[in-house]
Amino acid sequence: MIRTACLAVATLLVAGCASSPSGKRALAPIDYSVVCQQLESSGKATGALRWFHVSAERRAAYEQVFRQATDRVAAQARSRPKGSWAVVADLDETLLDNSKAECADQVQGVDVHDPDRWTQWVLSEQAEALPGAAAFVTAVRGLGGKVIVVSNREEGPHRAATLANLAKVGIVVDVLLLAKDRSDFDKNSRFRLIEEVGVAAAKLPALQVLAYVGDNIKDFPYLSQVDIGDPAQFGARYFLLPNPVYGSWQRLPMR
């Protein structure tokens, strides 16, 4: 999954990383406010990233999905006690937009799966909220539901910066369930915890989950690239956002 950390790229833009005299890897600083314009100047912007970063279609699709999810949750919340139910949301490319990190990787010719680069971005706390995300989270909490984010950002290096980034963009969540480490990327155990056991660290009992929201098929319990379960769940309990830039679909063979 993680490929070569630093690719040799013959361009003046470059040097995404280098070794310092101490042998410790040093990452080049990045001005994320201009990095997507730099990518444009380089002529290397892909269609998928352009779509995700600037298109009206993305904005409309996110607003549409979050509005549909809000309506479905609101209809079910009326008959349920406050605090007895939850909504589970993914974080990256669901609530937060990391397309500037993608621009940076492409500008500097760095592998997009490089964990040090990803941490550099997370610690910058510069992800923006995706369209409709903050309003959705606010609406769910206003209806009496818990918003539980299940993300594969990592507990140790990423929790504090992630909470700070969410606060900056006006997103308040009740629980942030992160991956323990890079071997803990299967979310199903965390989904089971929420629905069957309860999240002890947040003093929450088992909760009925009225909606799951995500951009990857694996953001939904037990679904995968080979099994999308009951299609009728989509738009009812599962709400899928579009991500043409990356995902578990990238490992599928063409046919």
Could you list the residues that contact Mg ion (CB under 5 A)?
90, 92-93, 215
How far apart are CB 148 and Mg ion at their closest, in Å?
15
b/e 108-143 (16+ beta carbons within 10 angstroms → b): bbbeeebebbbbbbbebbbbebbbbbbbbbebbbeb
Among residues 107 and 127, whose Cβ is nearest to Mg ion? Answer: 127
Among residues 6 and 95, whose Cβ is nearest to Mg ion? Answer: 95
β-pairing verdict for 238-240 and 208-214: parallel
Six token digits for residue 237: 């309990």
Q: What residue has token string 């299967």?
A: 186
| 222 and 188 Cβ atoms separated by less than 8 Å | yes
How far apart are CB 184 and Mg ion at their closest, in Å?
16
Six token digits for residue 220: 């939904």
d(CA 111, CA 104): 10
Among residues 82 and 180, whose Cβ is nearest to Mg ion? Answer: 180
Among residues 93 and 105, whose Cβ is nearest to Mg ion? Answer: 93
How far apart are CB 188 and Mg ion at their closest, in Å?
15
How far apart are CB 116 and Mg ion at their closest, in Å?
20
Among residues 38 and 114, whose Cβ is nearest to Mg ion? Answer: 114
How far apart are CB 244 and Mg ion at their closest, in Å?
13
